[in-house]
Amino acid sequence: MAYTRALPHLFGVSFLLLTHAMIYSVYRDFKDGEYVSTLGYDILIHTRSIGPLILPTGQLVACDPVIHPTTEPFVTELPRGEYPVHLTIAELRDEARVAYAAIHLKKENARSWTLATVASEDVGMFSKDEHGYTIISSLGAFMDAKTADHYLDYLEIFHDSDQNTLEKSLNRLEHKAKQKGTSFGNLSDKHLGKGNILTFSSGFGEGFYQTYIGKNAEGEITRVVTDFKVLDFRFPSFGF
């Protein structure tokens, strides 16, 4: 979806952003089996639903669940509930990679986007590319902040124990992500309370990745998307 936007009249002249550098494709929901033209060639897209994300408090954490489960939640809270999470997997020339992990809060597509940030980030001081979360294990995850607290308690109780089934599951998912390129899981346990942990391989592996919050024309949140920098789609802040 190529997107151009006319600027207001400046000195009586209307400017249209038509230069190559200013025309770009806007992120949207993709269909399983469709082809998208980006990165200079047609790429086959697969979509995978990895189950509902359960948010008992609505405070969303996006993190590396193996290395950084202590990541703080985003400032923007979501309505409490259960929401489907979909992965966009790009079939590149010789490998498949997870390009986006998206929480669908409503059926409609988002019309504008804002960068998701945490309380400790100075929004005014850093550029867009300096906001996000670091992944080292090749796994990203969504979970509720309460679930994250329960998971940290769980790790203290079962550290180096044969009963540490959650950590074993994460290790298997991490190994698959590094060996196969794509991996995802839906982890639940009585020790996590009412929530769960949804995991997914992170694009090409290690990196620093941004998450965006999408809203409809009425200002309601419809999507939360982590961009793993596999495809060149953008998240504009203005409506379209």
Q: Given pLDDT bands bounded at 50, 70 and 90, which one contains residue 78? A: very high
Q: How many domains does the chain have?
A: 1
Please check whether residue 164 lies inside any domain of the structure.
Answer: yes
The reply to whether 20 falls in a domain is no
Residues 20 and 52: their CA atoms lie apart, in Å, by 39
pLDDT (0 to 100) of residue 122: 57
Structure tokens belonging to residue 196: 């769960």
At 95 the three-state DSSP class reads coil
Angle at 40 between CA 37 and CA 44, to 5 degrees: 40
Say how far apart CA 97 and CA 180 lie, in whole Å. Answer: 9
Residue 236, helix vs strand vs coil: coil
pLDDT in tens, 212-238: 999 999 999 999 999 999 999 999 986
In sequence order, what are the residues at sequence separation of 6 or more whose Cβ sits closer than 8 angstroms to the Cβ of residue 117? 74, 75, 123, 131
pLDDT tier, 188 (very low <50, low <70, confident <90, very high otherwise): very high
The two structure tokens encoding residue 8: 């207001």
Would residue 181 count as lying in a domain? Answer: yes
- Lookup: tokens for 187: 């982890």
DSSP 74: B
Query: Does 4 reside within a domain?
Result: no
**Averaged over 42-60, what is the pLDDT?**
97
Asked whether residue 37 is assigned to any structural domain, the reply reads no
Residue 229, burial from CB neighbour count under 10 angstroms (0-12, 13-18, 19+): middle
pLDDT given for residue 1 in this prediction: 43
User: What are the tokens at 226?
Assistant: 């982590």
How does residue 39 score in pLDDT terms, banded at 50, 70 and 90? confident
Count of residues in the chain:
240
Banded pLDDT at 124 (limits 50, 70, 90): low
Stretch 130-154: mean pLDDT: 94
The mean of the pLDDT values for the chain is 87
Structural domain includes residue 35: no
Q: Which domain holds residue 75?
A: 47-234
Q: Quick check: helix, strand or coil at residue 53?
A: strand
Phi-psi region of 132 (alpha: psi -120 to 50; beta: other; left: phi over 0): left
- Give the pairing type, strands 2-3 and 24-26: antiparallel
Residue 33 belongs to a domain: no
140 has which bridge partners?
Answer: 200
Find the range with the poorest average confidence among 125-134, 193-202, 206-215: 125-134
* Residue that wins the pLDDT comparison between 68 and 98: 98
pTM to 2 decimals?
A: 0.86
Residues 160-170 have a mean pLDDT of: 88
Question: What's the order of all strands across the beta sheet hosting 60-63?
Answer: 60-63, 139-144, 197-201, 184-187
